[in-house]
Amino acid sequence: MRPAKRSIVAVGLLGAALFGTAAPASAATFLVEHGANTAVTSLDDKEVTLCDGEDDNLGVQVKYVRASGNSGAFWEKRGVGACATSGSGTVIVRMQICEQRPRGADSCTAWKDNPNLGFAPIKITEEDLRREAEDPYMNR
């Protein structure tokens, strides 16, 4: 993918992830890339948006672990430019992106830890846990 096209995809992904989300000015997102495929958290790190950035007819998946210890995963298989977003919940602490391979094992990044967490304890609220229970992509 050309750099200009990749920048457009990245800006679109960031816009999709930020739509309707309020956060402090010092907040940052957590980004994982697999080629031009990207997964990025919202500014509060409680949702993840996955975008297929490659015109290769391969599905892409994000796997994630929340501060509660629960994990989730979902696929984006609609093709290049398509994005999907998880439900909300506790903060996403780890992510991995995989690209579906028709034969053999999927191609995955290493697990990445959220660099925004620092050393402060993560606050888990009852509301976060309620929303997490409604996330359709959580492993049950």
| β-sheet bridge partners, residue 83 | 51
| β-sheet bridge partners, residue 98 | 61, 108
Contact, 50 vs 98, CB < 8 A? no
Please state, in angstroms and rounded to a whole number, the distance separating the CA atoms of residues 97 and 78.
16
Domain extent listing, the chain: 3-134
Angle ∠(15,20,23) on CA atoms, nearest 5? 90
Would you say residue 133 has pLDDT above 60?
Answer: yes
Q: How confident is the model at residue 27 (pLDDT cuts 50, 70, 90)?
A: low
What is the pLDDT, as a whole number, of residue 23?
36
pTM of the model: 0.79
What is the pLDDT, as a whole number, of residue 120?
82
User: Average pLDDT for residues 55-82, to the nearest whole number?
Assistant: 96
Please state, in angstroms and rounded to a whole number, the distance separating the CA atoms of residues 58 and 124.
36
User: Which one is the CATH code of 3-134: 2.60.40, 3.30.160, 3.30.1300, 3.30.420?
Assistant: 2.60.40
